[in-house]
Amino acid sequence: MKLSKIALATAATLLSGAAFADFVPLPVGVGILEDDNIEYVLDAQGNFKTSGTLAVGDRLRAVVKFSNVLNPDNSVFTALGAPGLELTGISEIEVKSINAVTGLYTFGTSAAFTSVYGAGAMAAMFAQTTGDFFTSCNGTSIAACETAATNGTKWAVAGLSDADDFWVASSAIAGVPLNTIDVSTLSGSAATTKVAVANFALSILYNGTGYEFNEQTSALSPFYTVGGDGKTDVIGSGDILGGQGLANNYVARSDFDFQVSRVPEPTSMSLIGLGLLGLGALSRKRKAS
């Protein structure tokens, strides 16, 4: 499967991996983390939903694996699969409202997910060196799949915190609102069929990446938020694709791009600062002698 991507706008040198047990290297400049994504739907009572339209209270839950870090020209900067590093994750978003006219869905956090990953959390990522976790998703339980996706070192958590944060989705099929599309239609569609599109702006709630990030301007924020400054940590969009061929109640695949802006990491700056302090002390010692 070739599915979602995370686009990273980076600025400065790479962080040494020595301080982090499972560091995921990123290229200088713009890089793309390429992933595989599969999702299932739970209704408001926590039951698997395989038919009917998405309703308020339904939750979309996904597992993800990032297989490569790409350069801007789509050449591979580094592979993240076995036997090297890999970045995996899990996400859960809940339907909060549906526009009856346009079919626009607005998503928010779910209590089940935030109880594990903290207030506002919608996605959590983990760095690990344990090999291809998707082998645990073929012919086994969802529980085994999710355990394999989350048993590494917590790398980052993203979700709703800033006034400009949002997550919305609408139909990708002309003339067919998303609130009229049956989940069974989604699960029966081919992996290349685009059923819905999503747009989002998120905050980084936990940062174990070794990088620091700047806020970015989200052109869509004014359409969905009031009183914000139009900036947030993560901005992006993506496609919901058909789930044909998936098992274990998985009904869809996803293809997303998440963009962040990296600044020079603090460890390097701290080392530079310590070096300057050392030079100053040496200078004072020489003067004293």
Residue tagged 């980052």 (tokens): 156
pLDDT of amino acid 15: 28
Strand-pair category, 86-98 with 121-128: antiparallel
Mean pLDDT along residues 251-273:
66
pTM assigned to the model: 0.81
Give yes or no for a contact between 221 and 201, defined as CB atoms under 8 angstroms apart.
Answer: yes
Distance CA(276)–CA(176), nearest Å, equals 63
Q: Which of 148, 141, 92 is nearest to 247 (CA)?
A: 141
Give yes or no for a contact between 24 and 89, defined as CB atoms under 8 angstroms apart.
Answer: no
Q: Tens digit of pLDDT for each residue in 76-132?
A: 877 776 667 778 889 999 999 999 999 999 999 999 999 999 999 999 989 887 666
pLDDT of amino acid 286: 42
Going from the C-alpha of 71 to that of each of 17, 68, 125, the distances in angstroms are 20, 10, 21
Residue tagged 């983390």 (tokens): 33
pLDDT at 18 over 70: no
Instruction: Give residue limits of the domains in the chain.
Output: 5-288
pLDDT at 228 over 90: no
pLDDT of amino acid 159: 97
- Residue 219, both tokens: 């052109």
